[in-house]
Structure 1
Amino acid sequence: MAWFFSTEYKDRDTGTDWTPEVERIASEHERFRAIGAQLAQDIEARYLAGPRDRNSPGYPWFGSSDVPRMLDGWPWQIPDRPFVDQFKEQQGDLVDIVSTSFTTYAISQRVIDMIEAIEPNVHQYLPYQMLQPDSSVHPDKRWLLNVCTRAEVVDIERSNVQWAKPPSDRWFIDAPGERRLLVKAKEARSRAIWSEWRYNGAQTTLISDALWNALQASGVRGWQPHFAYSRHIEEV
């Protein structure tokens, strides 16, 4: 089985989640974007040098942005120093999974260990720091999660989907009627987290039952089932 996920609300009525509000630091985002822009160039160069198969996960399309997101399955260059966010208000202890301003989540060593136990040496955890309003470094250690797998785990034949732009079979969307996706059991059970790169729906990043169950059993806060898919996605 598998799950789409989103930021977990502490109080949905007020729109409050478990992550305190952060301030974007302009210089950090300039540095982040520069690395992303170089990665985009490298991905495009590899694609142009190869067979140029637009239906392959190596196709250089980055959605509405011109740089890859860190949840979209592209390995990033590890920066020489941490990326930094700053809290708007003074903070104490933090939950294991916190939202950031860098197109991904920052996770604790505990969550990293859960991912690595299921899928070792696949994903990246980039250095990250959180500053208090007085610019002192928050003592809780977190790392930016970079999902490094672009996979095709959804069973197209058995799911209620259709191709987004026929006759191309590059991306699929939910078909009219009941929203229903099914994943291939053999594929899903070997993974912790991946980008379902062909799905042009509410979200593209999925976590397996193995990771979801480990997070829930350990009381990890920060992620909840995505509102568009409140139930798990079944295996076939």
Structure 2
Amino acid sequence: MNCHTRFRLHYIDDSGSADTGYTTFTWLALAPESWAAAQQQWLRFRADLYARHRIPPGARLHATDLTSGRSRPSLNPDFSVRTHGLTIVRDGLDVIAAIRGLTVGTVYRHGGHPSEAKRELYRALVNHLDGELHRTGHMGMIFMDGDGSDHRYAGAHRELHPDTRGLIEAPVFRSAEHDQWVQMADFAAWSAYQSILRKPTKRRFWNWYPRTLGPLDPHGPLAL
């Protein structure tokens, strides 16, 4: 695979809440030839977390847990997620923002039944990404958290026109417990959701997405 490969990998995670009425999807996209270098950047960050906080490189990082104080991924019994969780997420966003060749995007929807809104937003997302791939002459694939038991995702792909589609296959599901890219997408999705929701009690998070990943998002969060 050479530097002229016209293919994009899309790592996607969702966010939102039935209580707020928001549903979001955020993606990290890059070419396969950039994948190894990007993975190494993230793994250096994970190694640093182990050196500083004894958080094993294989431990799951979940932004909601880290920012709310509900997780203690460290082997250090004195580790306080309330003290260090916010810094870990912010540092992780900075690492993602520094990955060369990476693009980021977010789509969202407000209102409607949560399950229906999520299904319809994913369909809109698939059409949006497929249209971008078609316009740029690329092909692409989607990777996301899950076990594949929710068939509404694959159905959205089957609806794409076979003669023009750029997204190949159905989405590939990976476990967030073990996949670093899905965890990275989780950080991005959490920060995008905070920038869209703009909850007054979480004002300090409003600008995390625009200040870190915003320069990699050519459209800004899109209402679809």
TM-score under structure 2 length normalisation: 0.29
Whose strand proportion is higher, 1 or 2?
Answer: 1
Whose helix proportion is higher, 1 or 2?
Answer: 2
TM-score under structure 1 length normalisation: 0.28
